[in-house]
Amino acid sequence: MTIRKPRFSLLLPLLLACFGCGNQAPTPYIGIISAMDTEIKHLLKEAKIQETKSVGSLVVHIGTLKGKNVVISRSGIGKINASSGFTCVLNHFDISEVIFTGVAGGVKDEENVLDQVIGTKIVEHDYGIQGNDGFVWCGGDPGRREPGEYYECDSKLVDLAYESSLAVVKDQKTFKGVIASGDQFIASSEYVDYLDKEFDAYACEMEGAAIAKVCQACDLPFVIMRTLSDKADGHANESYVDFMDVAADQSSSIVLKMLESL
């Protein structure tokens, strides 16, 4: 009786089925992050969501948007929520670049509600020393007592966001410049003047520097982009309520335009 040896060509598909998945490179995704649900709702309507899952305390949406593989998530408000939430996302997905989108308060006199700000650099404006003589900003190092760290957004993503904004936003202006992050909703004309003079900021918000810090640590290209819902002055609360949804959708529309070229 002749025993035939199994042909390798027949075994190969079985071996690939058993072991191949573990050797495949993970799918790279574009990470799209916002602080609040209202800032990603327009994107989720446009996306083809293949899976929604919980990652830690976050709800993460995995799918495609404008033909690109994306992970879309709400991080939560403030720097701690943003950094911890985004880190959880990075621990579960291979992210190739990061777009943070949403609303912010305007700082410059020449800005108006629904203008767009594309961050070139991000700074943490509330990091420093509170002493008897008041607050001293120290950037990333409270021992230095001097101006500290700015986080540079990726120049290619900045240019793409800027050009996309010009194409989408017809009736408002688009600015490129510094975005200042801190754990306060700013509604003070006096503090807005401080942000302008101290940092030359164009917008103030609560998450960008935290996302930027994580991206810098992980060597990920990123851009922070914001539509102005208010002027961060004494009328900021009323303006924010009135324009938040419109501003959030406008920022999302610019993201959609960006994805066409990424």
Catalogue the active-site residues: 39, 230
Nearest of 115, 98, 113, 109 to residue 151 by alpha carbon: 98
Q: d(Cα 30, Cα 13) in Å, to the nearest integer?
A: 32
Non-local (6+) Cβ contacts of 88 within 8 A are 55, 56, 57, 58
Q: d(Cα 232, Cα 81) in Å, to the nearest integer?
A: 22
Q: d(Cα 112, Cα 219) in Å, to the nearest integer?
A: 34
Is 246 buried (19+), middle (13-18) or exposed (0-12) by CB count in 10 A? middle
Neighbours of 238 (CB within 10 A): 11
